[in-house]
Amino acid sequence: MPRTRISYLFLAPFLLVFAMFWIWPIISAFRMSLFNTRTNPWVFAPEMNWGRLLVDPAFLNALKNTFIIMIVQVPIMVSLAIVLAVLLNSPLLRARGLLRFAFFAPVVVSEVAYAAVFRLMFNADFGAVNRILDIVGLPMVQWFSNPTAAMSVIIMAVTWRWVGYNAIIILSGLQSIPQDVYEAATIDRVSKVRQFFYITLPLLRPVIVFSIVLSIIGSLQLFVEPFLITNRGGPGGATETLGLFIYRQGFAVFNFGYASAVAYTLAMIAVVLSLLNLWLGRERT
């Protein structure tokens, strides 16, 4: 038997599983987006789902909330991750390995557990955050009744969970920068601040762009935090994201056709934003 056939024979189980659980669901979801799936049998009506996207206030609200989280949270998180990566890379820092694990640990914490902790911390009656505000003389906040406060909790929770993950990614790029570049800059009496802005950041551009793309995709897919922390996107849908909206359409009201159309719209937005970031972050000659 030719070697190529043997190779394909070994690949066959993976390709079969990939086609069954990846390719076919993608094709099936697009097919459902073209039908009214709430009738039996399904009725071909692509305008019913795709046309509804432009006029559905619930979808537009979820889209707005998702973009607010992305626009506010991603720059804050990536900026903190860069600063944290620089600190973790410092030769003056002791127990660097332990600190790197400590900042990475939130990623491996159960989503349900960390959501419960944040919900308890920001509880209006007995939460630790309101207790601290009261001690320092500031007014206590109704975190889950005020739309702006609830959105702030979501942003803080997502940042806490993923800033360490992004810092480790950026740290790997930071450690790949040749040290002789910094040595030459030091000999030329270039300050550490100027080295950071004119050497470190330009050389880290590909890694930072990669981190931004991952963060944007993650924020577009956000589901757990609004579902568990703010009780399914409350108050009054103020923190409902597209991921939560897709879940509600698909598994709460069983409108799978519309949920599929929203899911494809979300995927297209993610692709466009990712390509835009890669284009903006490319090397220019």
Q: Is 36 helix (H, G, I), strand (E, B) or coil?
A: strand
How many angstroms separate the CA atoms of 35 and 261, rounded? 10
Whether the pLDDT of residue 284 is over 80: the answer is no
User: 3-class DSSP state for residue 43?
Assistant: strand
Structure-token pair, residue 108: 């491996």
15-19, 109-113, 158-162, 180-184 — which one is most confidently predicted on average? 158-162
Query: CA-CA distance, 31 to 20, in Å (whole number)?
Result: 16
Residue holding tokens 């890669």? 278
pLDDT tens readout for residues 156-210: 999 999 999 999 999 999 999 888 898 899 888 888 889 999 999 999 999 999 9
- Confidence tier at 283 by pLDDT (50, 70, 90): low
Region 141-163: what's the mean pLDDT? 95
Q: Which CATH class is domain 55-177+204-280?
A: mainly alpha
79-97: per-residue pLDDT in tens?
Answer: 999 999 999 988 888 888 8
What's the confidence (pLDDT) of residue 39? Answer: 87
CA angle 206, 212, 216 (to 5 degrees): 145
